[in-house]
Amino acid sequence: METAARAGEKRDADLPTLPAFGVPLTSPTVCEAAMTQMIETGEIHFFYRPKIDVYQPSGVDDLQRMYLALVPDDRDLARLFIVGRKQLPDILAGEADPSERHWLLLAEVGTPVEIGEALRPVHYETKTRGERQTPQAIPVGSGRYVIAARDDSTQIAYRLRAPKTVGAAQEALNIQDEARFVIAVRNPSVKVPGFPDAQPDYPSDLSVKFADERWIDISDSRLLDHEDAQLVLIGAEEQAAPLEIGANGKADPFATFGLAAGDWPDDPLESGAFAAATGDAEPVESEGDRSKGGRRGGPVAARTDSAAGVTSALTGISFPSDRAGLVRQARDNDAPDEVIDLIENMPERRFETMADVSKAVGEVR
């Protein structure tokens, strides 16, 4: 039988092997010897989306998702990441600890306005519960970031501009006024326990960079331009320095993503407090609703109440299974509320294969 210690060793072996791990990052020797190569700068924004039936969130258990959005300078591009565990990793003073790591899943890449659409409420219909709507994603922190190569690793640092002082909402999500993390991207051809099962479609000139490595540094920012890319984020320091974040450049989530400020609560950005969804923002139709138009398929559809969304939510399921087992697996995979809602409304029966699940989805839809 595998011991807990041996299991822990196997998990650590799945992490990026970066020299910065366990090295005191405040050591003068390390800082003086380090060479820093700037890779990218831009706006960083954090959002949370409350669960459907939660009016006033007060912690991560009340949230469906936490998002991190990067908007590089001088590009008409934005990236929306899902943050694993709905929190940034803890930071242990003085070192990058591989046990304090969370995954990021690149959910959508598009223009800032297109990403703004993904932050809106999502309206959908169920056969038994009628019309449902997931709340809008609420901004909880905005600032500037830099990605740079340093200490034989890639690091990302940010500094908030809003709120001026972190409050209960930021503390619950481990968002500090500034911080620095080691960041690496996963080889999509290598499975890593505890990370989502995703396959970004990298072009050959990027795929070759992985070689046989499980993780690689972000030497080329284009590695962050492909949906379903997976990253590991490891807490390093409670300050951005020695990485430099300039005082210039915008960091306004409403202007950047084309959101009407009056339709979005701003308490988290003003006072640092959790806020409820306003219900004023115009919703978008779920891509799983076949009676409506709009874009379908692809990585975004895999996170909605479509057949692709259910298949994605049930990654790792063992058949045969009953409906309750499907729901448990979807929850374990941190599936969106609308996908779990759909599974809960499927007929109660024994499911032998994914084809049986797809057939049941058709009966509900």
78-107 pLDDT per residue, tens: 999 999 889 999 987 655 555 567 889 999
258 vs 294: which has the higher pLDDT:
258
Q: Which pLDDT score is estimated for 33?
A: 40
Q: Which pLDDT score is estimated for 319?
A: 86
pLDDT at 29 over 50: no
- Summarised one tens digit per residue, pLDDT across range 103-142 is 899 999 999 999 999 999 988 776 656 777 889 999 999 9
- Summarised one tens digit per residue, pLDDT across range 8-26 is 333 444 555 443 333 333 3
> Residue 220 carries which DSSP code?
S
- List, as one string, the DSSP characters of 294-327: S--SHHHHTTTTSHHHHHHHTTT--SSB-HHHHH
Confidence band of 287 (pLDDT split at 50, 70, 90): low
Average pLDDT, integer, range 26-38: 53
Helix axes of 323-332 and 337-344: crossing angle, nearest 10 degrees: 170
Q: Using CA atoms, how far apart are residues 29 and 347, in angstroms rounded to an integer?
A: 64
Q: Using CA atoms, how far apart are residues 133 and 229, in angstroms rounded to an integer?
A: 28
Q: Using CA atoms, how far apart are residues 77 and 71, in angstroms rounded to an integer?
A: 6
Q: Which pLDDT score is estimated for 278?
A: 87
| Torsion over CA: 79, 80, 83, 89 (sign) | positive
Contact (CB, 8 A) for 270 and 207 = no
- Summarised one tens digit per residue, pLDDT across range 331-362 is 877 787 778 888 988 889 999 888 889 888 88
Beta bridge partners of 183: 154, 233
| Torsion over CA: 272, 277, 282, 286 (sign) | positive
Q: Which pLDDT score is estimated for 32?
A: 38
152 vs 175: which has the higher pLDDT:
175
φ/ψ (deg, to 5) at 86: 60, 30
Which range scores top for mean pLDDT: 9-13, 183-187, 314-318?
A: 183-187
Contact (CB, 8 A) for 121 and 133 = yes
Q: Using CA atoms, how far apart are residues 142 and 177, in angstroms rounded to an integer?
A: 10
336 vs 27: which has the higher pLDDT:
336
Identify residue 239 by its one-letter amino acid code: Q
Dihedral-angle region of residue 4 (phi above 0 means left; psi in -120 to 50 means alpha; beta otherwise): alpha
Average pLDDT, integer, range 199-225: 93
30 vs 257: which has the higher pLDDT:
257
Q: Indicate the pTM of the whole model.
A: 0.76
